[in-house]
Amino acid sequence: GAVVSQHPSRVICKSGTSVKIECRSLDFQATTMFWYRQFPKKSLMLMATSNEGSKATYEQGVEKDKFLINHASLTLSTLTVTSAHPEDSSFYICSARDLGGRETQYFGPGTRLLVL
């Protein structure tokens, strides 16, 4: 149980285009999902907290107009990187916390984004 999927697993795009990444909880409902960014050989940096049916809460220094987050249902959150630039190339990871409110977060396998 407690599986989180991400799609796509890998994406290459041209500079200036937008890329959408999906995060799904497959066997549980998640009121809260989190989006992280991981740089090579570095730790995870929390970008934003996504709550179903409400606006996401962004961490300091993260541009909300650059990284659009939508949490339309209890099993799906999306992250859209708008007008992507090479410096946005990174590994993006989502996690989900189940409806029961337990503290454990379940992580997706990540999406590697390369912007040319």
Partner 1 sequence: GNSVTQMEGPVTLSEEAFLTINCTYTATGYPSLFWYVQYPGEGLQLLLKATKADDKGSNKGFEATYRKETTSFHLEKGSVQVSDSAVYFCALSATGGYNKLIFGAGTRLAVHP
Q: Which residues bind partner 1 (CB under 8 A)?
A: 4, 6, 32, 34, 41-44, 46, 49, 51, 57, 93, 95, 97, 103-110
**CA atoms of 2 and 108, how far apart (whole Å):** 10
Distance of CA 34 to the CA centre of its chain: 6
**CA atoms of 87 and 2, how far apart (whole Å):** 32
Residue found by looking up tokens 């907290």 in the block: 49
> Which CB, 52 or 89, lies closer to partner 1?
52
Contact 6, 35 (CB under 8 A): no
> Which CB, 10 or 85, lies closer to partner 1?
10
Min dist CB 115 to partner 1, Å, is: 21
> Which CB, 51 or 82, lies closer to partner 1?
51
Min dist CB 104 to partner 1, Å, is: 6
